[in-house]
Structure 1
Amino acid sequence: MFEPKIDVQQAVAGLRKREKGLITYEKIMTSYKNTNLSNDMTFQRTFNGFYRIRRNEDWRKFYYENFEKWKNESTPTFPLILETLYRHTGRVECSFSSKMLATLCPDFP
């Protein structure tokens, strides 16, 4: 029978690393509703850091303006977000489109 050898210190260290990410994720998910996403730089820095968004200022401005708009107007669809970003940036941003949608609609993958 296979009995894995577990380094308890390494396991605890791994859990501590994940804890920080979960705290950040919870902060994003609880704060986005109560802030203006288009101009709240603290939220944007947190979201950018967590999801590793490394795009230029114009891209980020457009992204967060639409994030705010869709938060208040209606639930967007993945194709709508994807197409809107593509029309503005010329890039197919599947990953960042899904991150926005998953924040606005936590039941979505």
Structure 2
Amino acid sequence: RVDIINLSFGFPQFHERLRPILRAIRQARNNGVLLFAAAGNEGGNQGVFWPAKLPDAICINAADSYGNVAGFSPTDRAARRIYTLGEAVPSCELDVRNNNETVHRSGTSFATPIAVAIAAIVLGF
């Protein structure tokens, strides 16, 4: 059984070609699955991306390590506000040009799995 699904992707708006994903999201929610979705990285230029704007999904925004809202997080005031670390997140990628240092990435797609991990820990408690 699946308890949580991470949706670290988004589209500026719904398109008919996304209907199979929408059906899967609704089926998952009807089965009690928690869905976490990346809000998008356009800041004030665009609202929350789909599927994060769906009522079926928990919308995740990004913050820095001090708790400050990331400038690329959407500023849509109607959206639910959940933030996790999404700036300079260590990735599994190594920079071979820089002594194999860990590459750090930023975005709500990197914040979302952190929120998913926290939820999984809580569910498993």
More strand by share: 2
TM-score using structure 1 length: 0.28
TM-score using structure 2 length: 0.26
More helix by share: 1
